[in-house]
Amino acid sequence: MPSSLHIHLSALSPLVRPAVLVAVLVLGAAGQTSRAQPGPQDTTRIAFGEAVRIALDQNTDIKRAQATARQSNLQVQSEWMDFLPDASIRSSVSRRYGRNFSQVTGDFTTRSTDFFNLGGNSSLTIFNGFENTASLTQAQTQADADRMSLKQSRREVVFTVVDQFIALAESRELVRVRREELDTRRQQLEQIRAFVEAGSRPVSDLYTQQADVADAEQQLLQAEREREVSKTRLIQTLQLSPRKAYAFQQPGLQTDSARVETYDLSALIDQAFQQRLDLEVARAEQRAAETGIRAARSSYYPSLSISGNYGSDWSSRGLPGETTDNSFGNQLDINRGGSVSFSLNIPIFNNLNRSAQVEQAQVQAQSARYALQDQRQQVALQVRQAYLDYRNAVKQLDAATKRLRAARQSRDATLERYNLGSASIVELQNARRDFVSAASDQVQAQYQVLFQRKRIDYRVGTLDPNAPLADAPTAR
């Protein structure tokens, strides 16, 4: 085999020899790659709807947003508790040595004395300058913002799954185009071999076609690699085990992607202003910041609270007077007592800390207003860009379809001319390369239309996680 190959190469022109070498090398690599393929594995089939469900259950961004929402709910509960009175029970046991004064007996003693005290106290804030109500409102508003952020995170994950499913479908269609072209070139190789054996074509056409087949095999391998890369990205988004094999059931997207929608830009922007969750988050955060001003200003107002305590005690010296029953229970019963008090605190001067706190809250509220304005502008520009990208994708699809039609006609005409002997192998190769390029561009343009339509739904805020991606699924 090496000697015969050397004879054939020496018979070729310098322009044809590199193509034949490439053919031999690529065919050898393809043979090694095919022998290295692993054996069959248990494959898990996942449809689009199931992929969305898995992503919503396992995505770490959603889990972090859920933790933030739970933390906000706990803060709301904490603010509600501030409206309730606090209560505590205290108890102490002590022994005094040397000279000491007993509050129980009312005199001094020099002997060791044991004491026991039991009591409880409670206090309730009646008025604190509306700080408790402002803090509760602020916590509730922030909790609403965090819940909407969670919904936004879920919508972002759904859009990521949509994007990656479309990318996987596109890569599979490109593999199909490359495989069909490889089959066509192999058939043409057999036909040219027959022509060479019959003497109607030079042997250089055979070697050139072999190199062309090798190039098609290389392009197919590259397309298959891109398909596996797209599948790997989807596995990462779904947080699936990399050790297992998966088959994603791809919807039939060709008919769905060919559908062209008519949009109105102003209506899309107005709809986005109403339905975008990130805008709702920005509005809620602005309301929370403005409520923070009320909470900061509460320090200017006086505060009023009520408190009470009740308890009893016991002493080893017993009760004063002629009382003979100095038992533990009797002393606790006789020594019972308590008090109720009102406390009024009027702030006068606290080193300008209150003014600094109010000003800081006002700055935060102003920043929140600016953030809302920036978010509105960003939403409008995102919708505008999605709208323009969709229009461009539709035009690209129309142009790619026309180019594919012309490239197919040119390829068929060149093939017919080559079979008749009026066209060279180089002309046929160029016509086929133009056709493959046009077919690939048409597939990409087709899926780009579908992606841009889904992107408009995402930018406007109408992307439904329960909606199917396209038509009936086909497993691949």
Q: What is the CATH number of domain 42-84+128-301+347-467?
A: 1.20.1600.10
Beta bridge partners of 43: 245
Please tell me the least confidently modeled range out of 59-68, 91-100, 141-150, 406-415: 91-100
Residues with Cβ within 8 Å of 423's Cβ and at least 6 positions away in sequence, in order, are: 414, 417
Closest CA to 173 of 122, 116, 230: 230
Q: Is pTM, for the whole model, over 0.85?
A: no
pLDDT band at 103 (very low <50, low <70, confident <90, very high): low
Task: Report residue 46: phi and psi, to 5°.
Answer: -130, 120
Question: What digits encode the pLDDT tens for the residues 364-385?
Answer: 999 999 999 999 999 999 999 9
Measured between alpha carbons, how far is 299 from 361 in angstroms, rounded to an integer? 13
Amino acid 363: pLDDT: 93
The arithmetic mean of pLDDT across residues 339-361, rounded, is 85
pLDDT for 408 beyond 80: yes
pLDDT for 361 beyond 50: yes
Amino acid 254: pLDDT: 54
Amino acid 380: pLDDT: 96
Amino acid 344: pLDDT: 87
The whole-chain average pLDDT of the chain stands at 83
Residues 272 and 465: beta-carbon distance below 8 Å: no
Amino acid 464: pLDDT: 84
Question: What digits encode the pLDDT tens for the residues 258-269?
Answer: 567 889 999 999
The arithmetic mean of pLDDT across residues 285-311, rounded, is 88
pLDDT for 22 beyond 50: no
5 vs 389, residue with greater confidence? 389
Map out the domains of the chain as residue ranges: 42-84+128-301+347-467
Amino acid 130: pLDDT: 83
Amino acid 132: pLDDT: 87
Q: In the chain, pLDDT over 70 holds for what percent of residues?
A: 85
Residues 125 and 303: beta-carbon distance below 8 Å: yes
pLDDT for 1 beyond 50: no
